[in-house]
Structure 1
Amino acid sequence: MAIANLQPLAYAVAYVTFFIGLTLVGLRAYCHIKFLKTWRWDDLWATAILIFIIGQQIVLHMFLYWGCGLHMDTLSPVQQYNIGVWLFVEEVVYYAVHWIIKMSFLAFYLRLSPIPTFRKLIFFGMVLNAAIFLTNTLTAFFQCVPFDEIFHPGTHPGAVCINRLALLVVPSVLNILEDVYILVLPVSTVWNLQMTTRRKVAVLSVISFGASAVIVACFRLIPLLELYGSPDVSWALGKMVIVASLEIQLAVVASNLPSMKALWLHMTSESANGSGGEQSGSKGYKLSSMERKGAGSRFASHKRGSITMMERGVMSTESEEELTRVALSTSGSKVAAEG
């Protein structure tokens, strides 16, 4: 028997994934404020994601409220009209969510290496990200002239609109290409570090967890193509709610996952040492700090293409822990665990 209602599944996926993403953003902020006592630019971007994913969740909820996940012929004209309105809103919100998540990744990358070429590639990624966001947003607003043709298609005889297939697919493809760029960007830098292959794989696994979001984003093209080719818009959008929820929240998890290393170390250290083990517990989450010997330059020489020095302070991620260890062995700096 064919499924006639996608709404229960869509509601479940949308809200379960939303609360997972919401929890991780909150845990990241709590970890950095309470334990690590640090607040950097990438933390600011990651926290700002909270506002955007709430906006995204409101749009997805309104999709379902007006009947997405049900077949179009079962909906009233009012429901069909409101679905069209929220589809336009989703276009803009979806682009904004992608923009800020990518900025969070790129801001984090700036802390991985002082190598000029690597940093230039990061800044290029930021410019590209902004350009894609601006292009997609302007395309959404100017997809039809006059503007009202978006909400009342066919009611303006002289209306000019962008090809609907291009409007649906091109922005998603651009976002996927930018995602791939961000994923591969740190691979060469990390792989050239003087560490075991196992540790390199561990570092890259943390950084590249976002690949799962990219894979889901590719699957999002399926309901988008169905949205183009089928008059059953509400049914196709019900599928899109499910895929979009998974895609966005997996990206949120990926952007916050590295910071969970410090929280995990703190929790396991407290569990092992009891409430009285404050000193050893602090060693669990304050992974390392760096002190320079002598007067020297801020960064050591970039020998063999490895990362030689990262900013002074507490390292809050698995990748930073590994990178710092290599950096100190290369530059001759001293590592002291903070107690």
Structure 2
Amino acid sequence: MSLLTDLRPPFEETSVDNNGPLVSIITFIPFSVSFIVVIIKTWSMVYLKRVVLSVDIPIWAATILALVQSLLIQFAVDHGMGRHLEALIPSTFHTYNKMTYVAQILFFLVLTLAKVSTSNLIRSIDPTQSIQRYCRITETIIGGWTILAVLGYAFQCQTPRWQYLPSHCLGEGAIMYPVMTINMLVDVALVVLPTIMLWNVQMPLPRRLKIISTFASRILVIIVDGLQLSYLGQYLHSTDPTWTIFSVIACNQIMMNASIVTTCIPNLYRVMNSLALGMNRVQIPEGLELRPKARKASSYRMIQ
């Protein structure tokens, strides 16, 4: 029997009328990367006895929710996501709406947990009053954003709540614009805060820039958020939501997993740096602790 006859047919095939397989690829490849990164980070921190529960528990929870969310997106693909609405029977569209509805709420929760983990990491690095205050303010905003995002999305449409059609929902889904804009601004704050915190630390400039860049990797999330905002209108005002949702979902999946990965990068940098130096333990960052010098909250020195 020839090799060609032994090949099994593909699980799914993309076509001009079916973007579902592309959604599956964009969903599970980024999640696989996120899962591997979280496993490496967790193993490294456990091995080096540097687990910080306030930092690690949120990212573990985010990874679990991201897995459930990814599976729900796949179920939505199986029930019409990426295909034209006219090609679906009512029961299939009904199931698609339920899967998408829950997946979107989990998407918001994953973003929240990733942000909280990053904020807690910043707080664990710098105990000074000003940074602690800014982090508390940021976390309060994150909490408010989560309530706005989850409740705003969950109750934007008439009964049944999970069925999105422009004519069926308040403002044709306009609540998503402030939700995603605030999400972007919070991510900007999570880049700016560690930059300010580390800028006056007494260490060589190249080392300081490397550490700042690990937090600045979150800029990738901000860029994807901006792209998603540009696609929102096309989806929110469409009468063919199962088809036009493709670009929005693609951005969501990349954004969600990029949030998890970029949250882990500062810790991974610490681990790699410690291994390179042949250290037996890790300190944040590179043996650095921050302490006010000469009663000036804005000035710090290294404690070896």
TM range, smaller chain: 0.7 to 0.9
Deviation at 1:7, TM superposition (A): 2.2
Q: Is the 8 A contact 1:115 1:302 kept in 2?
A: no
Q: Is the 8 A contact 1:64 1:238 kept in 2?
A: no
- Aligned partner of 2:36 in structure 1 is 23
- Aligned partner of 2:69 in structure 1 is 56
Output one character per residue of 1:25-45: Cα deviation in whole Å (capped at 9) or x when no partner.
111111111223443411222
- Aligned partner of 2:119 in structure 1 is 106
Q: Is the 8 A contact 1:262 1:285 kept in 2?
A: no
Output one character per residue of 1:245-268: Cα deviation in whole Å (capped at 9) or x when no partner.
111111111001122234435766
Distance in 1 between the 2:288 and 2:191 partners? 28
Letter of the aligned partner of 1:136 in structure 2? Answer: A
Distance in 1 between the 2:99 and 2:288 partners? 51
- Aligned partner of 2:107 in structure 1 is 94
Of 225, 231, 239 in structure 2, the residue corresponding to residue 231 of structure 1 is: 239
- Determine helix, strand or coil for the equivalent of 1:111: helix
Letter of the aligned partner of 1:151 in structure 2? Answer: Q
Distance in 2 between the 1:77 and 1:208 partners? 45
Judged with a 3 Å threshold, the aligned counterparts in structure 2 of structure 1 residues 34 and 136 are, in CA distance, closer, same or farther, namely: same
Q: Does residue 195 of structure 1 match 2:203?
A: yes
Judged with a 3 Å threshold, the aligned counterparts in structure 2 of structure 1 residues 42 and 10 are, in CA distance, closer, same or farther, namely: same
Deviation at 1:117, TM superposition (A): 1.2
Taking the TM superposition and a 5 Å limit, the aligned residue runs for 1:198-217 are: 198-217=206-225
- Aligned partner of 2:46 in structure 1 is 33
Deviation at 1:300, TM superposition (A): 5.5
Q: Does residue 78 of structure 1 match 2:78?
A: no
Taking the TM superposition and a 5 Å limit, the aligned residue runs for 1:132-281 are: 132-144=145-157, 147-148=159-160, 150-151=162-163, 161-265=169-273, 281=278
Q: Does residue 66 of structure 1 match 2:79?
A: yes
- Aligned partner of 1:14 in structure 2 is 27
Letter of the aligned partner of 1:260 in structure 2? Answer: L
Q: Is the 8 A contact 1:191 1:200 kept in 2?
A: yes
Judged with a 3 Å threshold, the aligned counterparts in structure 2 of structure 1 residues 240 and 59 are, in CA distance, closer, same or farther, namely: farther
Q: Please report the RMSD computed on the Cα atoms of aligned residues, expressed in angstroms.
A: 2.8
**Structure 1 vs Structure 2: percent identity of aligned residues?**
18
Structure 1 gaps of 5+ residues are 270-280, 292-297, 309-326, 329-334
Deviation at 1:180, TM superposition (A): 1.5
Q: Is the 8 A contact 2:202 2:300 kept in 1?
A: no
Distance in 2 between the 1:268 and 1:137 partners? 43
TM-score (norm 1): 0.75
Rg comparison, structure with higher value:
1
Distance in 2 between the 1:153 and 1:196 partners? 56
Q: Does residue 45 of structure 1 match 2:35?
A: no
Distance in 2 between the 1:16 and 1:172 partners? 23
Deviation at 1:163, TM superposition (A): 1.2
Letter of the aligned partner of 2:300 in structure 1? Answer: I
Distance in 2 between the 1:306 and 1:118 partners? 12
Q: Is the 8 A contact 1:66 1:83 kept in 2?
A: yes
Judged with a 3 Å threshold, the aligned counterparts in structure 2 of structure 1 residues 46 and 301 are, in CA distance, closer, same or farther, namely: farther
Distance in 2 between the 1:266 and 1:189 partners? 21
Structure 2 gaps of 5+ residues are 1-14
Output one character per residue of 1:305-326: Cα deviation in whole Å (capped at 9) or x when no partner.
2334xxxxxxxxxxxxxxxxxx
Q: Does residue 5 of structure 1 match 2:18?
A: yes
- Aligned partner of 1:306 in structure 2 is 299
Output one character per residue of 1:240-287: Cα deviation in whole Å (capped at 9) or x when no partner.
222111111111110011222344357667xxxxxxxxxxx4x26545
Distance in 2 between the 1:59 and 1:263 partners? 34
Judged with a 3 Å threshold, the aligned counterparts in structure 2 of structure 1 residues 91 and 286 are, in CA distance, closer, same or farther, namely: closer
Deviation at 1:152, TM superposition (A): 8.5
Distance in 2 between the 1:153 and 1:188 partners? 44
Letter of the aligned partner of 1:63 in structure 2? Answer: A
